[in-house]
A and B are shown apart, each in its own frame.
Chain A
Amino acid sequence: MKKIFKTVTGFLAIALVFTSCNNGESKSKSALSSNAAEKVYVAPGEHDEFYAFVSGGFSGQLAVYGLPSGRLFKVIPVFSQDPEKAYGYNEETKPMLNTSHGFIPWDDSHHPDISQTAGELDGRWVFINGNNTPRIAKIDLTTFETTEIIEIPNSAGNHSSSFVTENTEYVVAGTRFSVPVPQKDMPIKEYKGNFKGALSFISVDPKDGGMSIKFQLMMPGFNYDLSHPGRGKSHGWFFFTTYNTEEANSLLEVNASQNDKDFIAAINWKKIEEYVNNGGGTKMPTNYAHNVYSDETHTATSTMIKEVLTVNPLDVPGAVYFLPTPKSPHGCDVDPTGEYIVGNGKLSANLTVHSFTKMEEAIKNKKFDGEAYGIPILKFEDVLAGSVVQPGLGPLHTEFDGKGNAYTTFFISSEVVKWKLGTWEVIDRKPTYYSVGHLMIPGGNSRKPFGKYVLAMNKITKDRYLPTGPEVTQSAQLYDITGDKMELLLDFPTIGEPHYAAGCPASLIEGNSKKLYKLEDNKHPYAATSDAATKVTRNGNEVHIQMAMIRSHFTPDNIEGVKVGDKVFFHVTNLEQDYDVPHGIAMLGANTSELLIMPGQTETFVWEPKEVGVWPFYCTDFCSALHQEMQGYVRVSPASSTIPLSWTLGEDF
């Protein structure tokens, strides 16, 4: 009995110690977090300092957040259908998702990058890659809408994409998988030596951002993982990490991890551009989609292109070199000066940094260490600037603050490590929660980073938020990097997988954000830009309703003469010319999404009525005090009916 008593008091004592310990901890924690709270607090009605465009990974979209608050403003549909905005559902945007494989309603969006002028962010467009069915999309930052998507032929797993050169001359798309080029029926085992890795250089029209594939460089059949452009002194070059230089076609986790060193491929794109401009390269028959959305017709068109210009690297001497880089490097990051090229060898103990100056020197002296498929390999020691020794486990990505520091994510050890360029010493490390992939400093992929915050994007959150069943949110974490030591400020949940992000000072973008589309500029073939222009016409079994909407009614709102078996097109124009007054429309039984129509815009959905009756439609966006009155009816008669088409508004008065 005495013994039991003793044990119980013992436990109590221990419990007390623990409790008081916990108290102490939570006190110090709250003191810290109140300081952090001030740094991320953006008062109601005030604006964030930065935009963050965070990819949705397997959601296929691009989310727009504010930093430092972490507030979500918009999810821009890019590669996936979005019933909320009718993207990929309405007749106007369906062509955006067209490919050589037909309509594809989804993709995996990875690496957003903001356009640049003279190596600095210019805030005009965001480019982002679709991984699965290779595509590059362009988002216009005046409308925050996807306005162009170009498919990439001969590519598979479009992962080392979509990074821009310093005057947005090109947006670059590299293949992850090597594949037969052109595609053909052949044994998988014959991969080695037969497959190709296409690196595509897509030129960007400096005026309207129009994209077209300038050339595809047909590289050896490795996996091209990530890439970044040279800048400053290395402008004109592009760097790609490779893995699976073993060219394994199965069980890559083992078979592609055998070589002690893989490569960073250094591509002198200026040299290849010159070669191509002088008539070089081979035109190859192919088939890919080029989809362009017009803000005037509010409609996308999809064009199939049948030819692409390919370049064999061996035909352009001095254009391509391999830099040996340890152990399956993932991220390939170039510092703001353009001197250092960081190869984040994900299975390596050390972080390898190459020197552009030393690379140029080695090329000049022709100090090669053999070749791979005819491409010269430079000596590792000749190009090495330095190594960050044992900084962590599983380095993936590095960005720069513009003050001589680099920040690298470590997936396996779940941390961000700050180190110094040139001395390669580790300055600070902070845990992430958990398993961080990319990180982002606004302007981090440019000559002029805005080194105030770093955003780390985590794949796993486990216990970090309220649980939501087996599937829990992924997240982003914001650190203050203005001091010597990083300070964790904020955790916030994200859409899909926050794969990578691009950040930009709000001041470069917000002033250009459009408030509405002008009705007088609306060139949609079925627009009704005034009540007088509304009408209903029949062409065989197709019925076209040209409808207008304004607070708080549709014109017309009573339609008769529609028959079972008709294909009814609702072409609906929002007549509002006032900021933030969209209207929606949805029809009972239509096999599609609602429309959400911005002021001055026209959108179309199709309804194929299957039953006679009087069927209602209504406004889906709470537009005004009389939103609930904003509704109408369509009378559907039997197929044999002779009731003529008629359309009216407000005849009760």
Chain B
Amino acid sequence: MKKAGIIMIIGSLLLLGLFKFPLWNIMLGAPQYPEPLGMNIHLNGIEGVKEFDLQNIDGLNHYIGMKTIPKAEEMWEFAIFPKVVLGMILLGVLIGILAFAGKISYKFFLGWFLLMSVLGVLGMYDFNNWLTEYGSDLDPHAILKISNPDGSPMTYKPPLFGHQKLLNFDVTSLPHIGGYLMFVGMSLTLVAFWLGKKASLKKLTP
């Protein structure tokens, strides 16, 4: 059970990576951009991969009437997400310590994992909503107004995950280091749960 507690603590602490590394990354390449433009989505805001990338993405997007990429203070998510994640880290560490001391059951690990998963899914849902709005809430005076073959106006929502072709751009959206650390951390809490369960079964059998 001690081992499981330690792994639970480590797993939770890996989420700290989100405060240093981006959660997600979207890259935009085109014939004129052999070195693609890119944005890194951090817990507390969006940054360009290279110094002037955000400015240049906005510059290109003005042709199709997209809004500029929001500043950190323009989205409540960037204020709330860091607090939620920090809270979950503290909670996870606390559960780990208590389990290590034998005060609580391994089942709390699963509880933490399920709570984090629910929050994660909500976060993704929110992120996807933003992408949809960002890609389809277009200026009616846009320079370029392009229709789909069926006549509906074309929208420019970047993919939530994976690759998509948007006009001349190849858009790829994937987790970044912070995101991967979070996934590993969350998986470790499952490992902790499994170890805890094994240990308690052992205790029961003899």
Q: Hey, which bits of chain A sit against chain B, CB under 8 A?
A: 516, 550-551, 576-579, 625-626, 653
With A and B bound together, what is the CA distance between A625 and B55 in angstroms? 18
**Distance in Å: Cβ of B58 to nearest Cβ of chain A:** 11
Other A-B contacts than A578-B52, A626-B63, 4 sampled, CB-CB below 8 A, are A516-B52, A577-B51, A579-B35, A653-B141
Considering only residues 93-111 of chain B, those with a C-beta below 8 Å from chain A are: none
Asked whether A626 and B143 contact (CB < 8 A) given A550-B59, A577-B55, the answer is yes
The complex places the Cα of A599 from the Cα of B69 at a distance, in Å, of 22
Q: Do residues A577 and B56 form an inter-chain contact, with CB atoms below 8 A?
A: yes
Closest Cβ neighbor of B34 among chain A residues: A45
A578 to B57: give the CA distance in the assembly, Å: 10
Q: Tell me which of B35, B52, B63 contacts A625 (CB under 8 A).
A: B63
In the complex, residue of chain A having the shortest beta-carbon distance to the beta carbon of B60: A551
**How far apart are the CA atoms of A550 and B56 in the complex, in Å?**
11
Contact digits for B138-164, partner A, Cβ 8 Å, 1 yes 0 no: 000101000000000000000000000
Name the one of A578, A579, A625 contacting B59, with C-beta atoms under 8 angstroms: A578
Closest 8 CB pairs of A and B: A577-B52, A578-B56, A577-B55, A653-B141, A551-B59, A578-B52, A626-B143, A577-B56
User: What mask results when residues 29 to 55 of chain B are scored 1 for a CB within 8 Å of chain A, else 0?
Assistant: 000000100000000000000011001
**For residue A578, which residues in chain B have a CB less than 8 angstroms away from its CB?**
52, 56, 59
Main SS of chain A's interface residues?
Answer: loop
A sample of 9 inter-chain contacts (CB < 8 A) reads A550-B59, A551-B59, A577-B51, A577-B52, A577-B56, A578-B52, A578-B59, A579-B35, A626-B143
CA distance A576 to B62 in the complex (A): 14
Chain B residues in 8 Å Cβ range of A550: 59
CA distance A42 to B192 in the complex (A): 57
Q: Count the A-B residue pairs with Cβ separation under 8 angstroms: how many?
A: 16
- CB contacts (< 8 Å) of B59 on chain A: these are 550-551, 576, 578
Chain B contacts with A in 130-189, Cβ cutoff 8 A: 141, 143
Contacts of B141 in A (CB 8 A): 653
Bound Cα distance A626, B143 (Å): 9
The complex places the Cα of A577 from the Cα of B56 at a distance, in Å, of 7
- Chain B residue numbers with a CB within 8 Å of A576 are 59
A626 vs B144: C-alpha distance when bound (angstroms): 10
Which residues on B sit within 8 Å (CB–CB) of A653?
Answer: 141
Per the bound structure, the CA–CA distance linking A516 and B52 in Å amounts to 11
Which residue from chain B places its CB closest to the CB of A551 in the assembled complex? Answer: B59
Bound CA span A579–B50, Å:
12
Please, how many angstroms separate the alpha-carbon atoms of A626 and B63 in the complex? 9
| A625 CA to B63 CA, complexed, in Å | 10
Closest to A576 in B: B59
Query: What 1/0 mask marks residues of chain B from 54 to 85 whose CB sits below 8 Å from any chain A CB?
Result: 01100100010000000000000000000000
Hey, which chain A residues are within 8 Å of B55, CB to CB?
577
Chain B residues near A625 (CB, 8 Å)? 63
Closest approach, in angstroms, between the C-beta of B7 and any C-beta of chain A?
Answer: 45
CA distance A551 to B143 in the complex (A): 12
Closest to B51 in A: A577
The complex places the Cα of A576 from the Cα of B32 at a distance, in Å, of 15
Report Cα–Cα, A115/B195, bound state, in Å. 66
Q: Given the complex of chains A and B, what is the CA–CA distance between A579 and B59 in angstroms?
A: 13
Which residue in chain A gives the minimum CB-CB distance to B144? A625
Complex CA–CA separation, A626 to B142 (angstroms): 13
How far, in whole Å, are A625 and B141 apart by their CA atoms in the complex? 17
Question: Within the complex, what minimum Cβ distance (angstroms) separates A311 from chain B?
Answer: 50
Give Cα distance in the complex from A516 to B51, angstroms.
12
Chain A's nearest CB lies how many Å from the CB of B39? 15
A residues near B143, Cβ cutoff 8 Å: 626
In the assembled complex, which residues on chain A have CB atoms less than 8 Å from the CB atom of B56?
577-578
B51, B52, B56 pick with most chain A CB within 10 angstroms: B52
B106 to nearest A CB, angstroms? Answer: 54
Residues of B within 8 A of A626 (CB): 63, 143
B169 to chain A, nearest CB (A): 14
Of all chain B residues, the one with the shortest Cβ separation from A45 is B34
- Complex CA distance for A625 and B51, rounded to whole angstroms: 24
Question: Bound state CA distance, A578 and B51, in angstroms?
Answer: 10
CB-CB < 8 A to A516: which residues of B?
52
> What residues of chain B lie closer than 8 Å to A577, measured between beta carbons?
51-52, 55-56
Give the distance in Å from the alpha carbon of A653 to the alpha carbon of B35 in the complex: 35
Complex CA distance for A577 and B57, rounded to whole angstroms: 11
* Cα(A625)–Cα(B52), bound, Å: 21
With both beta carbons as reference points, the residue of chain A lying nearest to B62 in the complex is identified as A551
- Most B CB atoms within 10 A — which of A550, A577, A653? A577
Contacts of B51 in A (CB 8 A): 577
Closest to B32 in A: A580
A153 and B55 alpha carbons, distance in the complex (Å): 49
* A653 vs B141: C-alpha distance when bound (angstroms): 9
CA of A550 to CA of B59 in the docked complex: distance in angstroms? 9
**CA–CA, A626 and B59, complex, Å:** 13
What is the CA–CA distance of A594 and B55 in the complex, to the nearest angstrom? 27
Q: How far is the CA of A576 from the CA of B56 in the complex (A)?
A: 8
B-chain residues with CB within 8 Å of residue A551 when the two chains form the complex = 59
Which single residue of chain A is at the shortest CB-CB distance from B59?
A551
B167 to chain A minimum Cβ distance, whole angstroms, is 11
Docked pose: A551 CA to B63 CA in angstroms? 9
CB distance from B180 to the nearest CB of A (A): 30
Closest to A577 in B: B52
In the assembled complex, which residues on chain A have CB atoms less than 8 Å from the CB atom of B35?
579
A579 to B203 alpha-carbon distance, docked (Å): 66
Q: How far is the CB of A511 from chain B (nearest CB, A)?
A: 14
Q: Within the assembled complex, what's the spacing in Å between the Cα atoms of A546 and B26?
A: 37
A116 to B157, CA, bound (A): 53
With A and B bound together, what is the CA distance between A577 and B143 in angstroms?
Answer: 21
Bound complex: CA A308 to CA B6 (Å): 78
B127 to A: closest C-beta gap in Å: 27
Bound Cα distance from A576 to B55, whole angstroms: 9
In whole angstroms, what is the CA distance A504 to B35 when docked? 26
Q: What are the residues of chain B within 8 A of A579 when measuring CB–CB?
A: 35
B52 / chain A contacts, CB cutoff of 8 Å: 516, 577-578
A575 shortest CB reach to chain B, Å:
9
How far apart are the CA atoms of A577 and B63 in the complex, in Å?
17
Give Cα A626 to B55, complex, Å: 19
A557 to B106, CA, bound (A): 70
Q: What is the distance, in angstroms, from B80's C-beta to the closest C-beta of chain A?
A: 32
Q: Report the minimum CB–CB distance from B193 to chain A (whole Å).
A: 50
Q: Give the shortest distance, in Å, between A550 (CB) and chain B (any CB).
A: 7
Tell me, rounded to whole Å, the shortest Cβ–Cβ distance linking A519 to chain B. Answer: 9
Bound CA span A579–B55, Å: 12
A247 CA to B206 CA, complexed, in Å: 116
CA of A576 to CA of B35, assembled, Å: 17
Q: How far is the CB of B205 from chain A (nearest CB, A)?
A: 65
In the bound complex, CA of A531 to CA of B38 (Å) = 25
Chain B, Cβ-Cβ closest to A580: B32
Q: Which of A516, A576, A578, A653 has the most CB of B within 10 A?
A: A578
* A626-B35 Cα distance, complex, nearest whole Å: 23
| Min distance, Cβ B53 to any Cβ of chain A, angstroms | 9
Question: Separation in Å of the B33 CB from the closest CB of chain A?
Answer: 9
